[in-house]
Amino acid sequence: MTYDLFIGDYAYSSWSLRGWLLFKQLGVKPKIHLIDFNSVGVAEQMKDVAPARTVPTMRTPEGSVVWDSLAMAEELNDRFPDGGLWPKDPAKRALGRSLAAEMHSSYGALRNECPMNLRTAYDAPALSDDTLTDIARIDTIWSHARGLYHEDGPWLLGAYSIADIMFAPVAARFAGYDAQLSDIAQAYVDTHLANTFFRQWRTMGLVTGDTLPWYAKPFATKPWPGPTPLPAKAVESGPSVNTTCPFTGGPVQFFLEFDGRVFGFENQLCRDETVEDPEAWPAFMEMARGS
């Protein structure tokens, strides 16, 4: 039973991040189809999954096409009712749906002025009043949810849910554009930046695809504000500690140096993603710490 997931550029496609996170939360591995933002139009690349014309789009095992991230979220919640996408508690679920729906339909100024760009971060950019109003509103509703459920966990409703998935790219925008937030909202952003799934997506954004100049802004830059990656570097050859790739199980052909030792991977992408942030990849860290 295989799902197909059509996504855009990892570094820039905020809605694609949401679709991908849904499957990661469920522990379901879809077949990924990457739409190239530096190629012909998105709709043209997706003509085989009509009537969808943008990313993310999901094709279910029976062939149904679902082409909106919130629709995908609710459909997957129905199909995997024990998957933890929405909490069982009705009060939490009601608040979560309100949060997700507002995110889905609002914040036009923030979206337009601050496109998600996981390849850079800006230092105190001058943002418009409309964008600052959006930021303040998001801070308000995040603080409201955290005030209600902070004892249940670090996410909006305590445990990770669709509400957090919908706001993950907003947290990335706030990090990338140096948004000034309340302590509660900043702690919530930091929770996203430290999340393993988010870190994995960002590493893929750093090593996959082109740097797209139309996403750049004329602001001074600064280092990405998330957790500082452990040092690792690509090397040309082994021998490596391991003979099989920690991700694919295949024979190793590409290598990195970490913690004074060399480790091998079956393909260059696996190696390069791990170089960017070793701790984002538990399978690698388990091997490295256990060997």
Domain boundaries in the chain? 4-79, 90-200, 232-290
Tell me which residue of 283, 285, 252 sits closest to 268, measured CA to CA.
Answer: 252
Nearest to 256 by CA among 194, 211, 210, 203: 203
Report the chain (291 residues): mean pLDDT per 10 consecutive residues: 95 98 98 93 93 96 97 98 98 98 97 98 98 98 98 98 98 98 98 98 96 96 97 97 96 97 97 98 96 67
Distance CA 161, CA 55 (A): 21
- Tell me the three state secondary structure of residue 51: coil
Neighbours of 147 (CB within 10 A): 9
d(CA 122, CA 223): 8
Contact predicate 118/172, CB 8 Å:
yes
**pTM of the entire predicted model:** 0.96
- Longest CA–CA separation in the chain, Å: 57
For 96-127, b/e burial (b = at least 16 CB within 10 A) is bbebbebbbeebebbbebbbbbbbbbbeebeb
How is domain 4-79 classified at the CATH fold level?
A: Glutaredoxin (3.40.30)
Residue 105, pLDDT score: 96
CATH of domain 90-200: 1.20.1050.10
